[in-house]
Structure 1
C-alpha cells in the first residue's frame, strides 16, 4: 500500500461538506447537496456558498472557515476551477480535512490555465498530505456507508441495489450510465458497493483503488473503465494479488490504436504496438479484459458475483433444442473448453428413464418433448457425475409443457448458493416473455446461478471463469525458481561494461548500441546460452581460439562466422563486414580475421568477432542441422516500463509478427504462458523435420533477460535475433543492446 493516507478514509467520514452547494436547481452543487442531505447518515452535512442563505432549510456558510465544526472529514468541491485550489487549502489548513473530491471541470482537460490550477491542487496534496479524487469527476458512491456524493440525482440515474461489485472509472459518463442500465437489467441484483469516478487523477489514480479493492472486505469483484494508466505497475501487481485471493479484476480498456510514440530503432520496439502490450500484460497478471460494459457487468461481473467457480474444462450441455445445443458445443470448443463425456453408469441410468428418441450424449437433448420433471431428473443426475465440471442448461421456454418459472424455483433449490459443494450451473434462457425472463433472472441471480440470453455468451463466460481459476491456482502453486541472477561479481562486471559504453555517448546522443562483444560479455555474465566466440585483434588470436576451443576431430566439423566490431560499422552485412561458413582447417579463420581487419583499417576497429556457427555439424562433411529462429527482446514502454517479447525471429520476424509480450521481471510460469500464446505452435513442435524447441530452456532465457532489464535501468532495449533452437539447445546468435545515459 502507498505510504499516503489510505483510500478507506473516503468511505468512513463522520462529517461531510459540500463546497459550492447551490440554490440554483439542477446544477451539480444543488443535486449533490440534496442527495447528500437525504442519504448521509454518518454525521452532519455542511453546505458552503459565498452567498450564504438557506438550502433545503439548512444554513449555507459563506466560507469554509465559518463551518462551526473544528474538523471536516470529507469534502466535495463544486466550484469554478480558479477558486478550487484556495478551497482545498482552506479545507486542509482550517478544518483539518484529509479527503477531498473535486467534481468541478475546467482543469487539465481544457487548457493551460486549467492545467495550472490542477498542478496547484497537486502541490497542495503534497504540502498537506491530503488525498484528492478528481478533478473533473462525477463523485463517489458507497451505499453501505450512506455515501452518495454524485452530482447526478437518483431520479435521473437510479441507484441499483448495493452489492459486492466495486467500480472505478476514468469516464464519469460511462459510470453514471451504468446505474440505469444495470438497474433496468436486474433491479433486484446487488450491484455496486463502491463506485468511484477518477476524473483527471491529479492525485488518486486507478492504482490506489486497485490496492483498496484488493483489501476491501466489501469488494468481491473489481471492475474498471480505463483510458490509460497513471501507475501501471502498481495497478498490475495489486490486480495479481487480488486474483490470487480469489477476487477477479475486470477491465474495459479503451484506445486500441497503435500510437507508436515510444518506438525505438529495434524489432522489439517496432513490434510492441501499445494495445498488444496492454492486452498481453493484462493476461499476464490474470486480469480479464472486456469489450464493453455489457461484457464487464452483464456477462462476467454478475457470474463472478454469484460465487460460481469452474475448476475444470469439461462442460455438460442439457437442452431441448438441437440447434441451440450445437451452438453451445461450438462455443465451448471455440473458447478452449471441452465437452464432457457422460460416464457409463450415468448414461445407462438416463437411458432407462427417458424415451429412446431423447439423445443421451453431450449435448443431452430432451427434444421438444422434455418436461420440467425430466429436466430436473437429467440435471440432478448429471450433477453427481464427476466426468463434468459444470452444467449449462439451454432452455427453449415457449413450449407448452415447459414452465420456466416453476423450473427456475426447482433449480434454485438444487443448485443455489446455499447448496454445499454445488455443481456449477449456467442457464441460457431462449424465447421467454419479458415478464417471465425478469422473474427467472431475479430468482437465479439471487441464488447465485448465472443466466444468459446467448449460447456464445455463456460459453465465453464459462471459459473466463475456468481460466481465472486456472491462473489463480498456477500462481498459488508457483515455486519461485526464478530468483534474480544475484552474483555480485557478475553485477560488477555488467555495470562496468555499461558504464564504459555510456562514456562513449556523444553530446546530444541519448543512447548507443553496445558493440557485439560487449553485448556477448553481458550475456556471458548472465549465464545466457551463446555459441563459442572470441574477440580477435589479430590472425593469431583467431587461430589460437579455434585450436583451444576445438581440439582434435571436433575442429574438423566446425564452421565459423567472422564479424567486424566497430562503432563506425553499424550495418555489418551491408558493409561487407560479415564472413560466414569459414572452415576450421588450420589458417582459415586467421586468414579471415586478417582480411576483415585490413578491409576496415581506416575506421575505428575494436577487432573481429569469431563465432561458431550453430547448430554445430555432428561430423565432418555432414550437412548442418536445421534450427528454429526465434526472437527474444525487450523494449521500454512509456506506460508499462520494461516489456519482454518472444516470437518467431530471423527474417520472418517482421513478416509474421508472431510475438507475445510480458512485463519485466517475470516468473518461469509467465514465460511459459507467453510461449503458449504464440500462433506458430507448429514451428515450435518440430514442423517438417525442424527441431522441437525446448520450452523450458527458452522460458529460462526469457526470465534471465527480463531480470537483466529490470536490474539495469540504463538498458533501453534488447534484441536477440535470431535465437537459434536446435539439437536440444539454444544459442543467442545476434545480440543488440541499447544503452542510455540514465
Structure 2
C-alpha cells in the first residue's frame, strides 16, 4: 500500500502541472452559477444520484437540469438522456457517475458551455492505477481546452446555506448549520461534512457561509479556496482541514496576506509518520516535516489548531470576544483544584499568570471575606455567592495587569444560582460587547437539567470547553494571533536585502560545469562576502614559506592566534580527518603545519586546493544559519543557536524564502533558548537585527540562485561589539 502511495504522489505533480493555466479563472461560479446540470440524477430514492439531486434541487435558486441515460422525470422535471440534449447553455455541473464514464460526460457538458464542474466520485488518481491517473489527466486537459474550473474528483463538492448543496448525504444523515460567518474548506469530504454536522448540533448559532471539499484537487486547491474566501464579504473567519499541500509556498503567502484581515484557522493533520502514511493512502498527499509546517503557518499568522475541537472553540471566542492584548491571564474560580490545574497549563502554553495590581488587591480585601484568596488564581472557595463571583470577575477584568480572564466554576454549587440562571447571569454581565478583554467561561462537571440551553448561553460568552488545558490553549492561540497582528501592524515596510544574483549564479554555474557540486570554503566565503555577510580575512597558500610570510604580516597583536584549514570540496567535515589546526602563533609554526597538511592530503587523490589561513575569531555566542529546498515548501531557512548546540538542543526556527529582515527578526521570538540569546554568563545579547539581516540575505541567495541546493553556515560567531562573522560554511549544488 505504501509503495503504491508514493507512486501516486509522483503523479500528483504531473496532473497539477497541466492545471496551472486554469488559475486565472475565478471559482465564484460554483456558488453563483445561474444554471446547473446534475449528471447521474436518479429517480431511485436512496441512491447517490437521487440524494445529490434532492439536496441540490431543493436548495438551488437557479435552473436545474437532470441527466441520466435512462431518461424519465424527477421532481416533475425532465431527465435528459445526455447533456447534449439540454436545450440551454449550462454554467455549473455536478457529475455523480462512475469514473469510467466521467470523461465523456464532462466533454458533453463543456460543449454545452459549462465553466464550473464538481466531480464527486472517486476512482481516479487516488487509486494509483494507470487508468485512474490517465482519466484525471484527461479531465485536466479538457478543462484547459475549454477554460473550465474543476473541483474534485473524489470529493463532496460545495455547500452554501443560501443556494448550493452538492453533497451526497441526505438531511437524515447530516444536520447542516445555518448561514454564518465561516468559510470552510477541507481536503477530506467526510471530515468536512462531519464538522458541519457538529456545528449544527452543538449550538443554535449560525456558522457556515461557504464550504468546499476539493478531494484530489486536480484543479481547485487550498490556495484557490482561501483566495476566494478573502474576497467574499460574507466570510469573516476561514477554517481549513488539510492533510497535505498542493501548492504550499503560494498557500503560505496567501495566508500571510489574508490573516491580517481575517483569522485563518488551520487543522493540519500528519504530525507524525503514522498520520503521513494514512493520508498518503487516503488522499495521495505527502506530509511535510511538521516542525517546518508549524513554524511557517505561525510565521504567516495562521492559528494552528491542535485538535478538531479547537476550530469550534477558537471560532466561538473570535466571533464573540475581543482579542487579548497580551499573555497575562487571571483565573477566577470557586474551587482551588480547578485553579491549580489552570495554573499548571499556564506554563505549557506560555501564558503569564499575572500579579494583580495593588488597587485590585485593596478593593478585593475591602469587599470579600478574608478567607477568599486574592492571589492568582483568585480562589473564592465553595462558599462564594453568585453576586460575589460576578463582582470578583469584574475586578479581575478591570485590572490593568490583566489581558484576559478565565472564569472557572461548577454549576450547582450551594451558593450559586441554579445552573440555567447562573448561565444567564454570566451572559448578562460578560456577554458579547460587554467586555473589552476576552472572558473565557469553563464549566466543570457533568450533565445538568437544561444542559443544552446552558451551553448555548455559555457559548455566547466564549465558553471554550470543559477542561483547563483546552481553555488555556484557546487563550494562548488567540494571544499568538494578537501578537502577530500587533507586530505586523508595527511594520511599516518590509526590507529585502539586495544581492548580485548574476555574479553568484555565474560563480556556481562555473563550478557545476566542472562536475563539482560542493563549493570549497573559500568559494563559500567569497559568495557570503559579496552579499554582505562578514567572513574572516583569509589567505590560500600551497607552501609553508607562504604561510610563514602571511602570518608575519597578519599578526598585529601578540595574542593573535591563527587557523590552518585544508581546502577541498571532497572533505566537508575537515576536523574529523585532522584537516584543521588551531592556535598557530608564529610564522615557523604556520610553515610547519602547512607542510604537514600538504604532505598528508595532497597525495590522497582528492581535489586538493591547499591550505587557508585566517585569524581565529574570538570566543563569542555561536549561532547558525542553514537553508535547503524543502520538497513541500520550496527554499527555506533554518536558524538558531549554532556550534554543537544545534544538534543537542535542536532549537531552530524556519522561514520560507524569501523572508524579509523584519519577519526573520520576529521569528526569533519562537526560539526556546531566549535566556541565552538575551545575554548569558557575561555574553552580550544577540544582535537580532544583524542576525535577521543575515537570515534574509541567505533567503535571497536561495530564492535567486536555483543551482544552490543547501547552505550551512555554522558557527556564525557574535563578538562583544555585536558583529557576526561566518566562520564555517558549506554550499551544496544541485546535480543536473
Whether the 8 Å CA contact 2:409–2:442 is kept in 1: the answer is yes
**Residue matched to 2:138:** 120
**C-alpha displacement of 1:630:** 3.2
**Residue matched to 2:87:** 68
CA distance, structure 2, for counterparts of residue 357 and residue 689 of structure 1: 46
CA distance, structure 2, for counterparts of residue 12 and residue 455 of structure 1: 43
**Residue matched to 1:332:** 346
Match status 1:643 vs 2:659: no
Whether the 8 Å CA contact 1:398–1:432 is kept in 2: the answer is no
CA distance, structure 1, for counterparts of residue 52 and residue 189 of structure 2: 15
SS in 1 for 2:32: coil
Give the superposed CA RMSD.
2.7
Using the TM superposition, name which of 168-177 and 657-666 deviates more: 657-666
- When normalised by structure 2's length, the TM-score is 0.89
**Residue matched to 1:477:** 490
**Residue matched to 1:370:** 384
Unaligned runs of at least 5 residues, structure 2: 1-19, 278-286
SS in 2 for 1:387: coil
Whether the 8 Å CA contact 1:343–1:387 is kept in 2: the answer is yes
Which residue of 451, 467, 479 corresponds with 1:454? 467
**Residue matched to 1:606:** 609
Aligned residue pair count: 702
**Per-residue CA distance 1:177-224 (angstroms, 9 max, x = gap):** 2233333322x0222211111100000111111212223212222111
Match status 1:129 vs 2:147: yes
**Residue matched to 2:400:** 386
**Residue matched to 1:96:** 113
SS in 2 for 1:456: helix
Using the TM superposition, name which of 634-643 and 539-548 deviates more: 539-548
Whether the 8 Å CA contact 2:424–2:457 is kept in 1: the answer is yes
Give the 5 Å matches for 1:451-600.
Answer: 451-480=464-493, 482-486=495-499, 490-505=500-515, 512-539=517-544, 541-543=546-548, 545-550=550-555, 553-554=556-557, 556-569=558-571, 572-583=574-585, 585-600=586-601
**Residue matched to 2:235:** 219
**C-alpha displacement of 1:435:** 4.1
Whether the 8 Å CA contact 2:464–2:474 is kept in 1: the answer is no
CA distance, structure 2, for counterparts of residue 412 and residue 360 of structure 1: 24
**C-alpha displacement of 1:687:** 4.6
Whether the 8 Å CA contact 1:665–1:703 is kept in 2: the answer is yes
CA distance, structure 1, for counterparts of residue 564 and residue 288 of structure 2: 35
**C-alpha displacement of 1:434:** 4.2
Which residue of 30, 51, 68 corresponds with 1:10? 30
Q: Relative to structure 1, is the Cα distance of residues 380 and 654 closer, same or farther in structure 2, using a 3 angstrom cutoff?
A: closer
Whether the 8 Å CA contact 2:237–2:262 is kept in 1: the answer is no
SS in 2 for 1:452: coil
CA distance, structure 2, for counterparts of residue 22 and residue 260 of structure 1: 38
**C-alpha displacement of 1:610:** 1.6
Give the 5 Å matches for 1:247-396.
Answer: 247-257=263-273, 274-297=289-312, 299-396=313-410
**Per-residue CA distance 1:418-473 (angstroms, 9 max, x = gap):** 44x6332111112253443321222233x453342112211111111111010111
CA distance, structure 1, for counterparts of residue 639 and residue 360 of structure 2: 46
**C-alpha displacement of 1:478:** 1.9
CA distance, structure 2, for counterparts of residue 310 and residue 711 of structure 1: 39
Match status 1:160 vs 2:177: yes
**Per-residue CA distance 1:56-84 (angstroms, 9 max, x = gap):** 33211111121122x21211111111221
**C-alpha displacement of 1:543:** 4.7
Whether the 8 Å CA contact 1:248–1:304 is kept in 2: the answer is no
CA distance, structure 1, for counterparts of residue 547 and residue 533 of structure 2: 23
Using the TM superposition, name which of 30-39 and 497-506 deviates more: 497-506
CA distance, structure 2, for counterparts of residue 27 and residue 504 of structure 1: 65
**Per-residue CA distance 1:562-597 (angstroms, 9 max, x = gap):** 2222345555445543333222x3454345444444
**Residue matched to 2:72:** 53
Stretches (4+) displaced over 6 A: 258-261
CA distance, structure 2, for counterparts of residue 170 and residue 493 of structure 1: 43
Whether the 8 Å CA contact 1:76–1:100 is kept in 2: the answer is yes
Q: Relative to structure 1, is the Cα distance of residues 16 and 557 closer, same or farther in structure 2, using a 3 angstrom cutoff?
A: same
- When normalised by structure 1's length, the TM-score is 0.89
Give the 5 Å matches for 1:670-681.
Answer: 670-681=663-674
